Structure formats: C-alpha cells, structure tokens
Structure 1
Amino acid sequence: MTTDRSAEPVGRSSDRGGDRTHRPADGHEPSLTVVICAYTVERWDDLCAAVASVHAQHRPPDEVLLVVDHCPELLRLAREHLSTGLRILANAQRRGLSGARNTALEAARGELIAFLDDDAAADPDWTGHLLAGYRAAPEVLGVGGLVRPWWQSARPVWFPPEFDWVVGCSYRGLPRRAAAVRNFIGANMSFRRAEALAAGGFRTDLGRVGRRPLGCEETELCIRLAARHPGAVLRYEPAAAVRHRVPPARTTFSYFAARCFAEGRSKAAVVRYDGAAAGLASERAYLRHTVPAAVLRSLRRWRPATAAALCAGVALTAAGYLTGSAGGRTGRTATRRTGAVRPATGGGTADGEPTRGESTTVRPTAAGRPAAGAPTWGAP
C-alpha cells in the first residue's frame, strides 16, 4: 500500500536544512537511465510493449537497461530480439525484483534512474514530466508518477478504487496534483542514482520473487532516503503517467485477499526496519480518512459488495501485519543466534529465499553508509 505523506504542493525550498545542492548552477539537465526488470518469458509481449513505450518517448532517455532476473531463456530471447537501443544485463544479485533493481543501480550511467515495470507502458511524455519534477525544486530526491490500471477484462464491480494498490496502481486517495509523498508505487518511480546507491539500494529480503505477492521494498528505500536527507522531497507527479496491465487472474477476490495479506506482512517488515512512526504514518491517515469515506460512499450508492471488499481488505491487511510482526520477532532472535552475515554478492536458495543462518540486510555499497535509524550491515 502506497500512501501520500501530505497533500502539500512541492516546489518550495524547505527550511529544515536538507541537501539543496542537486540543481546544477549552469542549468544542465541530468542524464536519465530507464530500467525495466523482467523475470519470465510468459510476459514477453508485455515486455516488448514496455520497451517500445520507452523508445517512443518525446524526450528519449540517455540509457535504457533491461535486467533479466535469473531466467536464462528470457535473457537469450532478449539478446536476440531486443538488443537495439538498450543494454541487457543479468541480475547479478539475489533472485527477485530488489536484486534486479540493485543490479541496475550499480550498472546505470545516468544521474537519474527511473524504473518501469515489465507489464507497464509509459505515456510518450513520461520521461519529460519526470525530469520536470526534478527541476521543480533542488531538494527533490525522487519523482514518481501516476499508474493507471489497464484492465484486460472488465473491472470487477466490487473492486474499490481505494484498493487499486492491490494491482500495483495509483488509487483514490492519492493527491491529484504534484505533491510531496512518503513513497512511490514501484511501477513508476525514479531517484537520484547516487543517493539511492549511498542509501544501500533496495532490501533484497523485501519485494517480489517471481509471483510471490510481497512488496514494500520501494517504501522502505523511500523512508531510508528521507531519513538520510532531512528536508528532501519525494515528489508525486501525476502527469508522469504509465498504464499497468491487470490480467484477469488479478481480478479475483482470492488474489485481492492474498495481496492484502501479503501487503500487511511486508508492512510489518518495514516497521521492523524503520520504526512505526515512519512505517505506518501514511497508513494511519489512509485508515482514518480514505477508507471510512469510501465505505460510506459505497453504502450511499447501494454498493454493498464494494463496502464489504473495503472492510475485508482492511481486515486481511491487518491480519497479515500481525502475522508478519509475530514472525519478525522470531526471525530476529534466530539471526542474533547465528550471527551470520549475508554475502555481499547476494546468495540464497534457488527460489530467492535466504539460506539458513543468512542475514538479509540491504547490501552496502562503496557510495555510502546506512541511513540513520536503519539496521547496521549484518545486524538486523
């Protein structure tokens, strides 16, 4: 679940003493790398559409990277058919979306790095609006945009727009204009690459591995970036829009329920790493305002199925959070007992799970140190 930190417009300088050195004095526009991470040949057509949408940008990116997540067949196909206009890399880290994104962070040449999902297609002016977001204020560390659902079948009548985050899309409750937010939706986000590297990149024990519907790795990184740079801004720019494919398999209530439960588990992990104040601040506002208003609106319009889905979604997410919180306490005890440190080059089993006795922390880089309040390397 991705929620806004505030509805305040951005673009003003902060008085909180953050890093304001990002805007070049000569007006030079920073270079941009666009990254697409992919893991399966089953989404080949979607991947080709994503790549085509990047090549069709009115403001072409300076570099395009495709990172293939431990799928030799997809890597071969990509090198045979998609090698024009982009660099193709194999995920050099632990299997999963976070490892693939970290591979891109380390390999990219752009000063800015933007991530587009392999089943999303960017509007032609996407990169232009992302770059404009960085020009809006020198304290902007990242820019994320609108993610529109691209339903491959009819949208279920019971599916509440407030829960479009379940299918990786922007949802009712986000700001309608440019605003500072706590975190972005992973299908459409960008960062200053040096700062993301210095913060340690994405945690490889969070995020999707194949079809496992866990997430929040982008949320955790955004929180860590904000902790490192007081006064900095993560800017939500709705004009920087993409459409995100929603296949029929993701329109069932069983998927809705599984995704809500998994989101709760992922959120518990974020709270373990970054504390409840940062990890749940936006969720409290979402539960106090967005969801109750949605339930009342559904009942007034005589849509009891939507109201029931809203209540079920909250309950399932809460159950996942409680389960994740209990499991996290057990996991911390086990890690302290083994005292093992995760290898810097990744590791884990073939399905992306950590090996026994392995600590799953953000991987340190030569570019910086962990955020204040974040776990130290090898000691979660």
Structure 2
Amino acid sequence: MNVVSGDVAVIVPTLRRPESLRRALLSLFAQGRVADRVREIVVVDNDPLGSAAATVSDLSADSPWPLLYRHAPRPGVATARNTGLQATDAPLIAFLDDDEAAEPHWLHALLDALENCGADVVFGPIRGQAPDAADWIRPYLEAFFGRSGPVHSGLIDHPYGCGNSLMLRRTALPGPAPFDTASDQTGGEDDALFAALAARGGRFGWAAEAWADEFAPAHRATLAYALARAFAYGQGPSQTAAARRDWPAVGRWMLIGAAQTLAWSCAAATYLLIRSPRRAIAMDRTARGLGKLFWMKGLEPQFYGTRELARLNASTPA
C-alpha cells in the first residue's frame, strides 16, 4: 500500500452525549506515532438540535489535527456514518463510537495490521465497561459490550461492528453513501456493508493491540437492553440470507435458531430457579436463537435514530 501523508480520517458519530464525546475526542488527541497519518477528525452530530457543536468548539484548539464538525439532523446511525464520509476524501477511514475511548497506540495498531495483513477492513478489541450495572450481571454486560478476538493480528474469517475499525475506502466503502439508511433505526448497517464486501472477495483483519474501552450508559447497562440487542444479533444471519434470496440458508438458520432456543431456554429456566448469574448468558443465547427464527422485517428492535432521540427527550428535565 502506498503511504500518503495525512491519509486517515477518524469519524466519530454522536447523539447528545457531550461528556462521552469529550472522552472519545481526548483519547484521539492523545494518539501516538500517527502525527503524519491523520488528515482530520470528523465529528458527526446526529442531534437535530446540533448539541455537539459546543463540545467540538471547546476542544478544537486542543486537537493536533483539524477537527471538523458536521451536522446530520436526520437521526439515524447509517445517515450519520454517510455524512462523516462525505466530509472527507481520505483514503483510509477509522471509526470510533462516541461511547468509546481509544488507547494511545490504537490508530497505529490498526494501521500496522491493515498494512501487514492486506485486509480491506481491520477491527480492534474492546473492553466493555458497565460501572452502573448490578454486581451479578456486570461480568456478562462487560463481555457483551466488549469484543475479543485472536491473540495475534492477522486475517480473520468474519467481520465485527464498525466501532473500533479501520477501512480501506476504495474497496470497503464504495460510493458516496455506502451505509444503507434503511438501517437508520435498527442498526445493522455495518452487517450489510460487510456482507457485500465479503461477496466481492473482500478480506477482514484483526488488530490485536488496537484496544478501546466502551462505556455502556446506565440505560443500556441492563439485562432487558442486552437481550433486545441479542435478539437483533440473532436476526442478522437469517436476514442476510433472505436479502440474498437464499431460502435454503434461511431455513438452515431457522433450524439452528430453533435448536438454540430449545436448549438455552431450558438452561435459562434452571439457572433462574437457582438464581445463578449464568442465567444472563443462557437468556442471551435464547434471545439469539429466537432472532434467527423471527427475522422478518417489522420485527427488528429499534435502538437508534428517532427511538434513541425520544428516550433522550423523555429523560431531559422540562
């Protein structure tokens, strides 16, 4: 790969999380060994009120690289990501979510892995943090919001999510709006993107040293939220097969889901009776199995966009 000075843009989508956004940006300002690689940091404000503008303005003088602000007033995770891409022409795109904080050599580790393994996209590990969760469920939630992978960097056979990733724009992010805005409210925009990349022969990589922390806010650090997300994750394989009109694969995933649901629901009932902390994992696996069975459009839980904005509005004092 030809290295061009200032060839990386870091995109940070955000929705009304000023303190979390500040933490994420300060972690980016502290990145080492990449001074000549970063072209700009792009903050995409997905709040119709433009509430992140003040945070970006306050921190702009502290940024070692241009800190750009873009307003995407239509709430939606895919819309926010597309808006960030339209703000930069950098050939390499890194994504860091606004609830994440990167370690000082995060970006260097992503770049090193991308260049050494020849992947189109590389992902880094995530430590989940759920400080507000109840003691019995905290280990499950921190694993749920975290991400683990191989001990060493290299090619992997499946993708992860966009948060904590680096992409070769030319191959992984084709066109002006590569994220499907039909996923604005439900998420999964990265699943569709990476499924299409895999179909084109794209390759995925793992950057074992590119650590970031993900801080689950209090309203997400609950069993109910995690199970809804687990159900949505379970829907992914069936929905991907249905989008390809591969009905035998849909049937296969539904059979797998039925088996998972039966086995894990029995385990969950047992763990509930004895009040074992393992009940959270068993309920998670049950939810994923149900998702494979009930994958149909209209049954997707909504976590982003207008749903998240409505929750934020409801929690704001009048």
Name structure 2 gaps, 5 residues minimum.
Answer: 300-304, 308-318
CA RMSD of aligned residues (A): 3.8
Q: Aligned pair in 2 of structure 1 residues 76, 64: CA closer, same or farther (>3 Å)?
A: closer
Q: What amino acid does structure 1 have at the position aligned with 2:152?
A: R
Give 1:248 shift: 3.3
Give 1:162 shift: 9.4
Q: Which residue of 2 aligns with 1:215?
A: 187
* Residues 1:36 and 2:16 aligned together: no
Aligned equivalents of 1:185 and 1:152: distance in 2?
23
Q: Which residue of 2 aligns with 1:170?
A: 147
> Size of the alignment, in residue pairs?
284
1:44-193 equivalent positions in 2, closer than 5 A:
44-60=18-34, 61-78=38-55, 80-84=57-61, 85=63, 86-91=67-72, 94-138=74-118, 140-153=119-132, 156-158=135-137, 161=140, 164-165=143-144, 167=145, 169-171=146-148, 174-178=149-153, 179-193=155-169
TM-score, structure 1 normalization: 0.64
**Contact kept? 2:238, 2:253, Cα under 8 Å:** no
**Contact kept? 2:122, 2:207, Cα under 8 Å:** yes
Aligned equivalents of 1:142 and 1:117: distance in 2?
16
**Contact kept? 1:156, 1:251, Cα under 8 Å:** no
Please state which structure has a larger fraction of its residues in helix: 2
**Contact kept? 2:27, 2:102, Cα under 8 Å:** yes
TM-score, structure 2 normalization: 0.75
Q: Aligned pair in 2 of structure 1 residues 262, 247: CA closer, same or farther (>3 Å)?
A: same
State which of 186, 191, 199 in structure 2 corresponds to 1:227: 199
Q: Which residue of 1 aligns with 2:209?
A: 239
- Aligned sequence identity (%): 24
**Contact kept? 1:216, 1:270, Cα under 8 Å:** no
Higher relative contact order (CA 8 A, sep 6+): 1
Name structure 1 gaps, 5 residues minimum.
Answer: 1-22, 329-349, 353-380
**Contact kept? 2:257, 2:291, Cα under 8 Å:** no
Q: Aligned pair in 2 of structure 1 residues 163, 219: CA closer, same or farther (>3 Å)?
A: farther
Q: Aligned pair in 2 of structure 1 residues 107, 319: CA closer, same or farther (>3 Å)?
A: same
* Residues 1:320 and 2:291 aligned together: yes
State which of 293, 297, 306 in structure 2 corresponds to 1:351: 306
Give 1:133 shift: 1.1
Aligned equivalents of 1:281 and 1:96: distance in 2?
32
Aligned equivalents of 1:265 and 1:252: distance in 2?
20
Give 1:195 shift: 2.1
**Contact kept? 1:69, 1:90, Cα under 8 Å:** yes
State which of 311, 315, 318 in structure 1 corresponds to 2:282: 311
